[in-house]
């Protein structure tokens, strides 16, 4: 199914900001919007990568995206990680959330792609100066813990998603 940009703009989302397809107003909040190319111009592949929202809209419009997001929230809350509960998920650029995690062998690894756009959230950890970060797409969920500005990140969970339908 090809994107029908004008249809999406008029029928599904109403007013779209800065050539967005999704109506989330993510373009106007992004510090790298000039580098991106705008979703409409790059057919839902900002920065040359994939955007989870654009994928869902392409497959089934706004309703499909909202279903996907609600299912993902339920899946994250069902992980059983103490202190990890999300009520909403935000669009996150990979280059902002793709931290380098230390491994037991002394090497480091990045688990995300810098040029993709994910859904996620940050949750403050009560009694600590650290946060949980939750990031997901159609295929994986990543839960990590980190300090100020992403310092000393630790992988809490990285798993293939059970429900990959978008």
Decide if 10 is inside a domain: yes
Q: What's the CA gap between 85 and 80, in Å, rounded? A: 9
Decide if 165 is inside a domain: no
Decide if 20 is inside a domain: yes
The label of the residue with tokens 């650290």 reads: 130
What's the pLDDT score for residue 38?
Answer: 60
Using one digit for the tens of pLDDT, what is the confidence trace for 72-112? 999 999 999 999 999 999 988 898 899 999 999 999 999 99
Using one digit for the tens of pLDDT, what is the confidence trace for 103-147? 999 999 999 999 998 999 999 999 999 999 999 999 999 999 999
Decide if 75 is inside a domain: yes
Decide if 65 is inside a domain: yes
Q: What's the CA gap between 121 and 163, in Å, rounded? A: 19
Q: How many structural domains comprise the chain?
A: 1
The per-residue DSSP string of 71-129 comes to HHHHHHHTT--TT---S--EEEEHHHH-PEEE-TTS-EEE-S-TT-EEEEEEEEPTTSS
Domain of 26 in residue numbering reads as: 5-160
128 within 8 A of 50, measured Cβ to Cβ:
no
């Amino acid at each position: 199914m090809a994107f029908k940009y004008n249809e999406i703009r008029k029928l599904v989302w109403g007013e779209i900001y800065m050539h967005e397809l999704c109506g989330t107003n993510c373009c106007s909040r992004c510090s790298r919007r000039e580098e991106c190319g705008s979703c409409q111009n790059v057919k839902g592949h900002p920065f040359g990568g994939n955007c989870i929202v654009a994928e869902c809209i392409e497959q089934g419009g706004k309703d499909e995206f909202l279903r996907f997001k609600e299912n993902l929230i339920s899946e994250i809350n069902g992980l059983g990680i103490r202190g990890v509960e999300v009520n909403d998920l935000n669009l996150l650029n990979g280059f902002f959330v793709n931290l380098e995690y230390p491994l037991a062998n002394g090497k480091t690894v990045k688990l995300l792609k810098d040029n993709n756009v994910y859904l996620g959230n940050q949750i403050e950890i009560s009694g600590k100066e650290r946060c949980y970060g939750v990031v997901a797409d159609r295929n994986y969920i990543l839960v990590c813990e980190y300090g100020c500005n992403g310092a000393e990140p630790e992988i809490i969970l990285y798993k293939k998603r059970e429900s990959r339908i978008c």
